[in-house]
Amino acid sequence: MAKAVFQIDKGTGSGSGLGNHIDRAPGREHSYPNADLSKTKDNENYIFNDHCRKPLAQAIKDRISEGYNGKRVIRNDAVKYLKIILSGSRDAMHKICENPKAKEYWIQQNQKFIVQTYGEANVVRFTVHLDETTPHIHAVVVPLTKDGRLSAKEIIGNKGKMKATHDKYHEYIKKLGLERGLKSTLSNEKPSAKTLDEFYTQINRADKVRDVELPIPKIEKPSKLDMFSLEKWTQRTNDKIQEQLQETVKDMKDQLSMKAFRTIREVQQLEKYRTDQNLFKELKNDNTKLKSTNKELHDSIENVEKVSIAKRDKQWHNSLSQSGLEMDDDGNINIKKSRGHDKGRSV
């Protein structure tokens, strides 16, 4: 049975790269390698507000400036937008999009879901892509709460709220014959996509997890009539085999390309994490060493001061003594007492 796909991911950057992909920006073809450019004209962009007409990065920035009422300065690594993919199993989506009424209903229901779930003012992109292997919708929303806080954590919620959101989405599109995606349980866990890049692989596994295999083309036995024109039968059979192989190879390239891209990015992120961790450890060790050195210097200075003061006092008393003077307990300098005198004379 065909399954619905609802995928959400957090975005912390400017959104310019995602905008290049969604808007099919000229000169940025590397951001949409799976697109069939001959079909790009069939893509549709829907306008919910003025922000939807702007470049995505600018739209995100402007919507935050417009709706953010928080007192704190927004951190650079804050989640500024949510990336949402809405689709379904490949064959089912092609059937839906081949039927104008079904396609329109699918788009309208997805629009209603996005607006009612995230707020119309927060939608900065809603684009239908029909130029890739599986028809799908890109929705980008800014996670602003009703009281003007930027909080992806509150908008997305915990696992319970996410489950409820998936259930809610299924209610909008179930009339199209799309079942809700499989729910994870202790005995039946289905890995879900963590980023949009995984969508291109997972979307074609909605019915079941399958490995990419190269099927052996079926060759029909020539009929008696074909025996009179074996050359045409051979040409027709070869064309059919080539068509099947091209479709399979394209499917493999699409999936392997996404897996390779994901692997490279994960390696880069892991390397950055390790570098940051090593740098943190080095700084922590240097800080500990500096504290230890600082304490040693402080103790040395105290010892030097004590020795200097004692030496100075000793020299001072010797000098007074040589001059026939002495210092009493109150710090007064007097002439040393001699025989025949009861009192000393203060200096």
**pLDDT for 171:** 93
Q: What is the mean pLDDT of the chain?
A: 78
**pLDDT for 154:** 93
Cα 66 to Cα 299: distance, rounded to the nearest angstrom? 57
> In the predicted model, what is the mean pLDDT of residues 220-235?
68
Find, among 44, 206, 254, the residue nearest to 130 by Cα: 44
Find, among 133, 131, 129, 38, the residue nearest to 90 by Cα: 133
Please say whether the beta carbons of 251 and 212 come within 8 A.
yes
Q: What is the pTM of this model?
A: 0.56
- Of the pLDDT bands very low, low, confident and very high (cuts 50, 70, 90), residue 127 is very high
Cα 137 to Cα 24: distance, rounded to the nearest angstrom? 14
Q: Which residue has the higher pLDDT, 305 or 112?
A: 112
Residue 309 lies in a domain: no
Task: Determine how many CB atoms are found less than 10 A away from the CB of residue 14.
Answer: 16
**pLDDT for 315:** 72
Find, among 135, 119, 300, the residue nearest to 203 by Cα: 135
Residue 292 lies in a domain: no
Q: Could you write out the three-class secondary structure of the chain?
A: CCEEEEEEEEECCCCHHHHHHHHCCCCCHHHCCCCCCCCHHHCEECCCCHHHHCCHHHHHHHHHHHHCCCCCCCCCCCCCEEEEEEEECHHHHHHHHHCHHHHHHHHHHHHHHHHHHHCHHHEEEEEEECCCCCCEEEEEECCECCCCCECHHHHHCCHHHHHHHHHHHHHHHHHHCCECCCCCCCCCCCCCCCCHHHHHHHHHHCCCCCCCCCCCCCCCCCCCCHHHHHHHHHHHHHHHHHHHHHHHHHHHHHHHHHHHHHHHHHHHHHHHHHHHHHHHHHHHHHHHHHHHHHHHHHHHHHHHHHHHHHHHHHHHHHHHHHCCEEECCCCCEEECCCCCCCCCCEC
**pLDDT for 183:** 56
**pLDDT for 97:** 93
> In the predicted model, what is the mean pLDDT of residues 146-154?
93
φ, ψ for residue 229, nearest 5 deg: -145, 65
Least confident range from 33-37, 56-60, 126-130: namely 33-37
Residue 302 lies in a domain: no
Cα 336 to Cα 262: distance, rounded to the nearest angstrom? 93
Q: How many domains does the chain have?
A: 1
| Res 24 pLDDT > 90 | yes
pLDDT digits (tens, 9 = 90+) for 36-78: 999 999 999 999 999 999 999 999 999 999 999 988 899 888 9
The amino acid occupying position 339 is R
Residue 151 lies in a domain: yes
Domain containing 67 equals: 4-210
| Res 210 pLDDT > 50 | no
Residue 111 lies in a domain: yes
Residue 126 lies in a domain: yes
**pLDDT for 165:** 92
Highest-confidence segment of 169-173, 223-227, 281-285 = 169-173
Cα 166 to Cα 219: distance, rounded to the nearest angstrom? 44
> In the predicted model, what is the mean pLDDT of residues 146-167?
92
**pLDDT for 256:** 61
In whole angstroms, how far apart are CA 284 and each of 83, 101, 191, 289? 37, 63, 38, 9
Q: Which residue has the higher pLDDT, 332 or 182?
A: 332
Task: Determine how many CB atoms are found less than 10 A away from the CB of residue 121.
Answer: 16
**pLDDT for 182:** 59
**pLDDT for 238:** 74
Cα 101 to Cα 84: distance, rounded to the nearest angstrom? 24
| Res 215 pLDDT > 60 | no
CATH number at residue 89: 3.30.930.30
Residue 76 lies in a domain: yes
Residue 347 lies in a domain: no
